[in-house]
Every structure is written in C-alpha cells, then in structure tokens.
Amino acid sequence: MTYESDSGLRSVDRVCDILEALAASRGGDSLTAISKRCHLAKGSTHRYLTALEARGYVERSPDGTLYRLGRGLKLLQVSHLESLTERSVHHLEKLRDQYGYTANLGLLENDSVVYLAIVESAASMRIASRPGDREPLHCTALGKALLATMPEDQADQLIAHIDLTARTDRTITKRSVLKSDVQQSRLRGYAIDDCENEVGGRCVAVALPGDSGAAISMSAPAAHFSMDEVPTVAEALMATAKLITE
C-alpha cells in the first residue's frame, strides 16, 4: 500500500469517527468534545468538520457552538426512515384500534422532533401535527422521551441550548424543571406531555430501542385520556416499540 492510499484511508477513518461521534451525541457536540472523543487535534477536527459542513453532512447549532449531523446526511437515511415508517404504521394502527387514541412516530432531528407517521383516531379530536411537521422537545412526550434516551450529559447540553417557549400555561419553561422531568422519564421508561404542548391535549411516549433516535406515542384529549390510564398505555407502547425494532 502506498503512503498516499494509506493516508487516504486514515482520513476516511477519521471522517467516519467524527460522523459516528455526532450520531451518538444526537443533540450535537462542541469542537473540543468531538476532538477528544475521536482522539484528534482540534485543528484537524475543525478541518474535517468544515469539509463535512460544506457537503451538508454536518451543520452547526444556531449559536454556532455545537456541531450536529446535517440534512445532507439525512437524505442518505431516507430509505431507512421509509422502512422504519412502514414497519411502524401497522403496529401503530393496532394501538389506535385498541385504545381509540391517535398513535404517532417521531424522529429526533437537531433540537426538535419530526413526525414521520400519524395514525389518527376517528373517535377523538385530532390534536397532533401532520407528518413532516416539527415540534419542540421540551413540551412534547416524544421530545422528552428522546431526551431521556441520551446520556445525561448530552441531554443536559441540549437542554441548555433549546428554546423553552411556552405553548400553554403548563409548558415547562425552566431548564432545571425540564432536567428533572427528563430524569423522571428516564427512570420510569416513558415520558408524558400533560397539556404542555396543546391546551387540553395529553400524550405519552416511549423511545424505540437502539440508536434510531425515534419514538412512538399515543395522544388524545385529556378529557378522554386520564392520567390513571397513562401507565397502561405506556406498557403497550413499550411492547410495541420492541416489536417495531425486532
């Protein structure tokens, strides 16, 4: 093997290391954190990140302090996401039919959650977004479930940067309270949106096993979906999440 080809392979390995580090961080990481995780000098890390950013595979947070996977890389995941959505819809329909609530599939993308599928209940008022729409992490069950799957330091880093705009008078707008809520979600295995994103809307969500960055949820008007029923629905979501990823 020539020096040139050997050097090229090392560069490919380093780019892969950086992309894998960003994928693991989900919410993004600083230049310093990436260089440490990949065992690279800051200067080299910055050059690779700049090249990846130019191709759209990496992008920066609004304040420029964090790097995260970009839309260019997301396009390469389209086939995988289509497969995930197809696998999920059948199971979500079963949940919808069993409980009469709207079932959802969402994906973490940067500092928000994107709806991939919504299986709407004909019996209840629609309170969910449309597929492709984005919702905040801090006031949705899907968003908080995804935050709860991250390593605590990475979740805290993302919470420190996201906008905590109030959607209702019950929206969590203090970072310390959100951290506590996410920790509770982490311990019990599911997250709750109790009229925090929409007035009168209740939702419970569970992250899919593995590193897909996706979660499923069930939502309904709070008048129909009582807090007493939440643990039962959460157990059904957990079982369904396992089926989707088998």
pLDDT(36) > 90: yes
What pLDDT sits at residue 6?
60
Dump pLDDT digits (tens) for 37-60: 999 999 999 999 999 999 889 999
What is 77-245's CATH superfamily? GAF domain (3.30.450.40)
Adjacent-strand bridge partners of 202: 194, 220
Contact 162, 61 (CB under 8 A): no
The amino acid that residue 220 corresponds to is A
Domain ranges of the chain: 6-69, 77-245
Give the torsion sign (CA, 132, 138, 139, 142). positive
- The two structure tokens encoding residue 44: 């080299």
Find the mean pLDDT for residues 189-216.
94
pLDDT(1) > 80: no
CB neighbours of residue 20 within 10 Å: 12
- The two structure tokens encoding residue 236: 């059904």
What pLDDT sits at residue 26?
64
pLDDT(207) > 60: yes
Domain 6-69 falls under CATH 3.40.50.300: no
**CA–CA dist 27, 6 (Å, integer):** 33
Count CA atoms closer than 13 A to 10's CA, side-chain side.
10
Dump pLDDT digits (tens) for 87-145: 899 999 999 999 999 999 999 988 899 999 999 986 555 554 677 788 999 999 999 99
